[in-house]
Structure 1
Amino acid sequence: MRKWLGGAVLVLVLAGCSGQGEEPAAGGSQAPLSTVENQAAPPPAKGVTSLPASTPTEISIPKIGARSSLVPLGLNPDQTIQVPPVDQPMQAGWYGKAPTPGEVGPAIILGHVDGNKKPGIFFRLKEMAVGDEVSVSRQDGTTALFKVTHVEQIAKKEFPTDKVYGDTQGAELRLITCGGTFDHAAHSYKDNIIVYATLVPPMS
């Protein structure tokens, strides 16, 4: 598994996903304002479609009517992955220590299901299905288009670390939010909704 993963293997859930009107759980700090340094991905294998590194700026998911700029996210002191501000539930963020969307490897984009008694940017993420498209605009002016290959809901305590963060042969994308039953004691949902997608080769 790549060095960029670092301590993220310790906690791989959106600890800051709060419910309607609830306070965020520990680990849900605001994303930093500066861009997180990205570790260079290895060169793609022969015949693999990919794009050079470029900071993602916006995500668009037509199927669920989701569109948001992207703020960079890193790790909290306790090694949980940072999440976008809960008081801005429509804001999505990208994990800046992973490959950028379009590079070989799994790019990671996180978003809240809700917050401040309002739906979040990924409120309808569970509706995604195989074949749906996700586009990510990049700082270099290109757009990385991805097609969904798999959607799963899984308990946070069973988060599939290797499947989500492990090396991939091609350019892939992971969209992650909270779901399932809300645990009022923990101020967090019990499950994660994870969408897996692969890069669509650009038209020649």
Structure 2
Amino acid sequence: MARWEPDARGRLLRAALDLFAEQGYERTTTAQIASRAGLTKTTFFRHFPDKREVLFYGQPMLMELATNGVRDAPADATPLDAAAAGVDAMASAHVEGQREYAPQLGAVVAANDELRERAAFKRASIAGAMADALVVRGVDERVAALAAELGARAYYTAFDRWIAPANTEPMPDLARTALTELRAAAAALA
């Protein structure tokens, strides 16, 4: 693969996933990932601080989308409706091409304690960002935290459904369905 070909970040991700599957996460080096992608190690570090972040590169963007979605929700939106706007914004960022490598990514994360811990941290960070945005809107901290947790759970539930091989529904539809299910479950608690 020529070094000048576009989409260096995507090439690095695909190379990393292939190498993680072939030889394991622990035994894969950044130099191997760069070489497999047809890039230099310097290019790798221009895109990612370490090999772990190859797997989580979209998280800062998701946090920003979630925060902006909550912030831009209508002024009269309930806390859960505002969180739903954040979930919609995150779900809309997923494109069909991402589905092809998401199961492989999930398998790599599931097989490694460090990566599972990082995934949990990233998930909590997304919920925290939504909760902070809700508080800025004037929502009580406890209510904001609960709405954000439901939003994050809906997003990740939808993501798991979206990457299922038999799925044909778009990610935003799945996210709305997951949030509707969670609203019903929360109502049943009363």
Same fold (TM over 0.5): no
Higher helix share: 2
Radius of gyration: which is bigger?
A: 2
Structure-1-length-normalised TM-score: 0.27
Structure-2-length-normalised TM-score: 0.29
